[in-house]
Structure 1
Amino acid sequence: MLFVNTNGAGLGHLNRCLAYARTLSSEVTPVFFTLSSAVDVIHDFGFDADYFVSHFWSASGSEAWNRELAYRMTLMLRAVRPVAVVFDGTIPFRGLVEACRQFDDIPFIWSRRGSNRPDARPVPVDEDFCDLLLEPGEIGDEYRVISEREDYRRVALEPVTLLAADELLSREAARTELGLAPDEQYALFSLGSGNQKDTREIASGLAAGLIERDVKAVWAQPPIAIREPLLPPQVERIRCYPLARYLRAFDLFVGAAGYNSCCELLLAGIPALLVPNRQLTTDDQLRRARHLATTLPVVVSDCEGPETRVRAIQDVLALSCADAGQYPSLDGARQAAREIMQCVEKRDG
């Protein structure tokens, strides 16, 4: 089965494809064709992957880039001959569609996350091209069939996470692996790659404010980041993926309100200061952050000025870890795997 993901502002597209691939790996052999510069992450999970540079980083214009994509994707389909193509992205690129149309016996499955901003332009769904449309939901969303006909099915899923709750390390085990002191107070910073929003001033101000309050700051360097933030010298830096595995090592989380981060915080239950990225053209991080704050100990702030940052730090330090309880289900990956296999079996007759 061929998994194709775009290179977004973070690792959401790649995470969801990896979640599907891991869940399906007992039934199919996953192979990746990725536009994400974090291709090494796929190899670390034991999957084969071919890399094609994202249009965001390519020197080619749109027409030339799509021609190159169509050529490379065609070669990949000829070599792999997958039982299905599973694509995760905002919209399938023209070059991808052109390549897949040459193999109309191979089902095309599109995974497209929702929670778009109210002012975002709607993305048209090419129902004649797509065999199955999966819509990974937000926290609290439930599985349901949106529409169905003989050659097309559209399904809403529960949230999709790469790891399950029992795959997260305990506080003690995570601190041991990361080399953190057992009796110190730590804050984990994950404010995004910085490729679409420069968060260096916010990060530096928040880190300094926490250090003044005897909280050690740890900066998680994203695999796709292209610039280093200017942080106080006391800030420790780590590189680890998936970050969710280590969340319980920390007393609080400071980060953007991305899809992955919010779902993973639900698994870990630690207090969080969420700084929504409002520069994204589609993803409604502010709405997601406010919704999560109704379930978990979360402070939502833009942290744009010194006074706002001081107040946000005070508020988040007053929070306690969430009690273990019954939280909304995060079973989207297994639901997607079931839908994907049903689609393949239906095509096979």
Structure 2
Amino acid sequence: MDFMNFNTRLILAFVAPAVLFVASLGGSIWALVQTQQEFDQYIQTEQAMANSVREMYAQGLQMGQALRNIVLDPANPKAYDNLQAARSAFDDAHQATLQSARGTPVEPALASLVALRGAQAQAQDKVLALVKTDAAQAIEVLNRDETPAWRTLRAELLQLRDASGQLSAQIHQSVKQSADRARWLAMALAALAIGVAVVLGLVVQRTLRREIGGDPAVARTALRRIADGDLTGAMPPVREPASLMGALAGMQSSLRGLVAQVQQSSAGIETASREIASGNNDLAARTEQAASNLQETAASMEELNSTMRQSADAARQASQMAVANAEVAIRGGQVVGQVVATMDEIN
């Protein structure tokens, strides 16, 4: 079962016994239905036929007793009623027997009852016809015809009863065997289901042990300890490296190595941080010196700017004076020109 994954094994462990249990239940129900059908057939045919044969035998005796009562007392109406009732009951039982025996091995034996019962009925009618006119002749016909006819019919009924009894015993034995088979089938399937459940349970237990690598409670405790940050605890012995316990042990070992690396990296980072802090202090000092130099340069630039502004003012004043002098020169030139012109006019 190594080709199956864990989920498939779990599903198989639960489904297989359930399927076998359902199969055993279905087989038991099917066997019970078959047994019930055989029992119903036994009740409706063999048992009913046996009861009908006994009823015919009893009514045959009742007819003989009623007919003798009529011969002894022809004026007794109760005897006639009893005879008629016994006749009707015999015929009804005969029809019920034919109905029950239809399709059974006893059915051919019932065909002879019709002729035997007809012969007895004819003898009974003769006795009834003679009893009112000639009692002695009626008794003679009763002893000569009716009684032998009844004996023949009775013998046939007894044989039919025995045959029906044997058939009933066979059917009863068959029903009993069917019930026994159904019981043994149910027990065998139930035992098979239990055996499969036990085997699959052991397989699942072994699979769980192999997948987890130990007791699930131990694995849960180790996992909780690691989750809480405790990596110093000892892991239980691991038989299966590929199991959950093996993975937990490997994870704990890896986490220990990772924590050690983090500690080493933290120490290096701390040293680098100190060096960076020292460099920052030196840079701050250099920055302050540069700022001081910049302040001095700014002061010098301010003085230079003031000097340049004064120079600009002086240059502007000189320019203004030059412009004024130029204007004076122009006006002087003009005056000189006028003087020259005047002199020319004088000449």
| Bin for the TM-score computed over the shorter chain | under 0.3
Structure exhibiting the larger radius of gyration computed from Cα positions: 2
TM-score normalized with structure 1 length: 0.15
Structure number with higher strand proportion? 1
Give me the TM-score of the superposition, normalised by structure 2.
0.16
